[in-house]
Amino acid sequence: MLNLEATTRQAFLATLRRDLLIAYKRKNDVVNPFMFFLIVATLFPIGISPDPERLGGIAAGVLWISALLASLLAMDNLYRADYEDGSLEQLLLSSHPLYFLVLAKNISHWLVSGFPVVLVSPLIAYMLNLPDAAYGVLFISLLIGTPILSLLGSIGVALTVGLGSRGLILAVITLPLSVPVLIAGTMTVQQTLNGASLGGYLAIMGAMLLIALTLAPAASSAALRISVS
């Protein structure tokens, strides 16, 4: 039993390390979602209004929508290269639990595409005139929420990995699953501005993350077996 746990842990770390190295070599996988997030967030003041007070009222929603769209843009890269070069089939044939291998790929994907968005969010929030009191809550909510978006998106990508053109289908599958996260994240920040207690909202987001960590890799694993078989 101990040997099995040790080899599974090694396989998990090896998969995580491999995907991070591949992403480091393919700079576009890192730069594209990050730049897309910046572009979408900065276009809102131009399209709506440059008025600081008005921007401050919608800043939380703007940042969360931008993060969701950036996550969708990055999702297509999650299993595509592995499917095309045949390594995904080797992953499915591995003796290690597919759940942990998929989880490692999801974590790597979030570190590459989601975490940079979280890091830059306070700067964009400042540009959008978000009140100072909400910066920390915005950062925490995105830190909890963006991994959920990646985990949920993984299910949609796994279901459509064998399709040639899957952009619209992937959005149709992923967006309905992501709406509760979007609402919870935006409400967490808005309630901070209204002086409400944050314990309940952060607890809801934490519960969403735990559920996604528990169920999403299993659902993605089952979807991959169906799509690749």
Q: Which tens digits make up the pLDDT trace of 21-60?
A: 887 777 777 788 888 888 888 887 777 777 777 777 788 8
More confident residue, 145 or 77: 145
Q: What is the CA radius of gyration of the chain?
A: 18
pLDDT given at position 165: 59
Q: How many CB atoms lie within 10 A of CB 227?
A: 18
Give all strands (DSSP E) within the chain, no chain letters.
none
Q: Which residue from 106, 114, 111, 112 is spatially nearest to 157, judged by alpha carbons?
A: 106
Helix extents (H) in 76-162: 80-85, 87-93, 98-113, 115-127, 135-160
pLDDT tens track for 179-228: 889 888 888 888 777 766 767 788 888 999 999 999 999 998 888 888 77
Q: Domains of the chain: which residue ranges?
A: 2-228
